[in-house]
């Protein structure tokens, strides 16, 4: 256990950290904060949800001089939502130092951004394209930058942002600190490191598996055409507090969220074709619990930290094993428990193996639940609600009318009728979902080359992934911030029983 006191952080920043509710440093924070404070370049790799943002954010904020009206820190993130989230966290870390943090991203009025840039922020957080745009317009000058951070560096390379990033890095002073963070670090990162970093210290938090141990991982073998019914049964049985469902394409996300709404679930979709205002509003509704299901493309797979996400469903198995790691990492954050389910069609078993090899972890098989089990799940939910009301609420005025009912009917029939009335019974409203082709692992693809047997789905291109729901209130969410690593405490409310 490492306390923030032991890491050489200023008292103002420490005050902010404790106001954020952090009690002890996570392993990546304990190792990288002292190195970054000394001015080293650092490559930091640690599992999802283990506090990488503060690992780079604390030393960055601590090192800036707020008496100088100069931009001293720059953070680049792959999506707009992530840029906003990181800037909010840095603002909290820099609260007592009065650090000015500004986020700049595409889809937001550029004139407004230019006016904000004139107010001399100390730290900028942005997406590659918009940062470059400001550099070209000369509305963002980088000559005083001391520290540059690439959050989710590998994803930015995947998304084809490499040239933008190179241009940004070329515009920075030679004498500067470069920090690079992600949960996954493919070998190509090495090239960036060699070109743009100065004797980087590599901090890799050792773990047996790539995914955190407190996420339970399952796969279900499901035919493409049956996926939707299986999904709704799982939702009925597990009744997640907040769930993210990942789909492969934007069309998939649109169709899925519409279908879920038709069947009575509070869901909304997020992907790169939506307006920025819409994307922000969907995410806000999800965070506040006004919708409890977020349907998303991989645009929401990286970095997003939404407390209370208990379940992740991969409606489509991802093309890249790395993407799997990040997707399921939206749950099980800061030591909490989470549940992840991945649908695999019969032709995708090769890809399942591929994912398991990369993550060094086997998923457990989950049987497809029956309609009866779905119904029972919903009945249990109603029963739990009734019990809570009996225990916590004043029923005096209801008891008279209940007595009246019991004059003509036996008590079991009366209660059964109430449960029936409140239970969401399996719904068969027809929905429209276009089939997606199976994901074939790279090895299988190579074997099939030349045979031309079947088309494979193309990986979401950059545009597709570029930033792209009423049932329960949010007040039940556990917002506790003490980091509990691998301990068994949990806020998971999964009532999934493996024998179901």
Ligand X SMILES: Nc1ncnc2c1ncn2[C@@H]1O[C@H](COP(=O)(O)OP(=O)(O)OP(=O)(O)O)[C@@H](O)[C@H]1O
Name the residues that contact ligand X, by CB under 6 A.
22, 25-26, 29, 46, 48-54, 183, 303, 305, 307, 329, 333-334, 481-483
Name which of 26 and 441 has its Cβ closer to Mg ion: 26
Question: From the list 94, 200, 240, 303, which residue makes contact with Mg ion (rule: CB under 5 A)?
Answer: 303
Nearest approach, Cβ of 140 to ligand X (angstroms)? Answer: 25
Residue pair 467/301 in contact (Cβ under 8 Å)? The answer is no
List binders of Mg ion among 171-210 (CB under 5 A). Answer: none
CA distance 90 to 306: 16
Name which of 29 and 103 has its Cβ closer to ligand X: 29
CA distance 25 to 79: 26
Nearest approach, Cβ of 241 to Mg ion (angstroms)? Answer: 22
User: Which listed option, ligand X, Mg ion, none, makes contact with residue 297 (CB within 5 to 8 Å by class)?
Assistant: none
Residues 54, 57, 59, 60, Cα dihedral to 10°: 180
User: Which listed option, Mg ion, ligand X, none, makes contact with residue 354 (CB within 5 to 8 Å by class)?
Assistant: none
Name which of 14 and 130 has its Cβ closer to ligand X: 14
Nearest approach, Cβ of 85 to Mg ion (angstroms)? Answer: 8
Nearest approach, Cβ of 217 to ligand X (angstroms)? Answer: 16
Shortest-Cβ-distance residue relative to Mg ion? 303
Nearest approach, Cβ of 151 to Mg ion (angstroms)? Answer: 6
Cα 422-296-289 angle, rounded to 5 deg: 45
Nearest approach, Cβ of 331 to ligand X (angstroms)? Answer: 10
Residue 327 in contact with Mg ion, rule: CB under 5 A: no
Which listed range, 56-64, 211-219, 301-309, 461-469, lies at the site for Mg ion (CB under 5 A)? 301-309
User: Which listed option, ligand X, Mg ion, none, makes contact with residue 50 (CB within 5 to 8 Å by class)?
Assistant: ligand X
Query: Residues binding Mg ion: what is the number (CB under 5 A)?
Result: 2
Name which of 25 and 102 has its Cβ closer to ligand X: 25
User: Which listed option, ligand X, Mg ion, none, makes contact with residue 22 (CB within 5 to 8 Å by class)?
Assistant: ligand X
Nearest approach, Cβ of 90 to ligand X (angstroms)? Answer: 11
Which listed range, 2-10, 88-96, 204-212, 296-304, lies at the site for Mg ion (CB under 5 A)? 296-304
Name which of 37 and 114 has its Cβ closer to ligand X: 37
Q: In what order do the strands lie in the sheet with 293-296?
A: 267-270, 293-296, 243-246, 311-314, 338-344, 215-221, 364-365
Name which of 303 and 338 has its Cβ closer to Mg ion: 303
Indicate the burial class of 499 (C-beta count within 10 angstroms; 0-12, 13-18, 19 or more): exposed
Which listed range, 115-123, 125-133, 302-310, 437-445, lies at the site for Mg ion (CB under 5 A)? 302-310
Name which of 150 and 165 has its Cβ closer to Mg ion: 150
Nearest approach, Cβ of 144 to ligand X (angstroms)? Answer: 26
Per-residue x/- mask for Mg ion, residues 139 to 178, rule CB under 5 A? ----------------------------------------
Nearest approach, Cβ of 329 to Mg ion (angstroms)? Answer: 9
Nearest approach, Cβ of 488 to ligand X (angstroms)? Answer: 17
List binders of Mg ion among 34-53 (CB under 5 A). Answer: 52
Residue 240 in contact with Mg ion, rule: CB under 5 A: no
Would you tell me which residues interact with Mg ion (CB under 5 A)?
A: 52, 303
């Amino acid at each position: 256990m490492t306390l923030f006191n032991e890491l050489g952080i200023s008292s103002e920043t420490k005050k902010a950290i404790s106001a954020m509710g952090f009690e002890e440093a996570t392993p990546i924070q304990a190792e990288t904060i002292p190195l970054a404070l000394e001015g080293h370049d650092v490559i930091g790799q640690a599992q999802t949800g283990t506090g990488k943002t503060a690992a780079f954010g604390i030393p960055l904020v601590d090192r800036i001089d707020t008496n100088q009206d100069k931009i001293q820190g720059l953070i680049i993130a792959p999506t707009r939502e992530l840029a906003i989230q990181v800037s909010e966290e840095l603002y909290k870390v820099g609260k007592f130092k009065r650090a000015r943090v500004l986020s700049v991203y595409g889809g937001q009025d550029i004139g407004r951004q230019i006016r904000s840039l004139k107010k001399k922020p100390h730290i900028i957080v942005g997406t590659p394209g918009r940062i470059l745009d400001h550099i070209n317009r000369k509305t963002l000058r980088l000559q005083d930058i001391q520290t540059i951070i690439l959050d989710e560096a590998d994803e930015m390379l995947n998304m084809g942002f490499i040239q933008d990033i190179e241009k940004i890095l070329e515009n920075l002073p030679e004498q500067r600190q470069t920090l690079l963070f992600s949960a996954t670090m493919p070998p190509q990162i090495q090239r960036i490191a060699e070109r743009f970093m100065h004797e980087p210290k590599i901090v890799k938090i050792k773990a047996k598996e790539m995914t955190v141990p407190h996420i339970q991982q399952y796969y279900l073998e499901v035919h493409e055409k049956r996926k939707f019914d299986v999904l709704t049964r799982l939702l009925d049985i597990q009744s997640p507090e907040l769930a993210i469902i990942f789909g492969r394409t934007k069309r998939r996300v649109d169709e899925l969220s519409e279908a879920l709404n038709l069947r009575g679930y509070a869901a909304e979709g997020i992907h790169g074709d939506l307006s920025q205002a819409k994307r922000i509003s969907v995410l806000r509704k999800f965070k506040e619990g006004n919708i409890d299901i977020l349907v998303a493309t991989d645009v929401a797979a990286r970095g997003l930290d939404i407390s209370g996400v208990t379940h992740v469903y991969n409606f489509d198995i991802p093309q890249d094993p790395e993407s799997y790691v990040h997707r399921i990492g939206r749950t099980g954050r800061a030591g909490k428990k989470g549940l992840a389910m991945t649908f695999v069609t019969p032709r995708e078993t090769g890809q399942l193996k591929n994912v398991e090899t990369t993550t060094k972890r086997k998923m457990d098989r989950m049987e497809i639940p029956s309609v009866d089990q779905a119904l029972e799940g919903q009945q249990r939910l109603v029963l739990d609600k009734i019990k809570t009301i009996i225990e916590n609420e004043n029923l005096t005025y209801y008891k008279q009318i209940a007595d009246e009912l019991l004059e003509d009917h036996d008590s079991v029939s009366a209660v059964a009728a109430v449960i029936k009335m409140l239970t969401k019974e399996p719904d068969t409203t027809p929905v429209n979902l276009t089939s997606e082709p199976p994901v074939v692992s790279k090895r299988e693809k190579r074997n099939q080359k030349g045979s031309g047997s079947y088309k494979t789905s193309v990986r979401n291109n950059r545009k597709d992934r570029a930033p792209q729901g009423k049932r329960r209130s949010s007040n039940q969410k556990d917002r506790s911030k003490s980091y509990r690593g691998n301990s068994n405490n949990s806020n998971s409310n999964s009532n999934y029983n493996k024998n179901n």
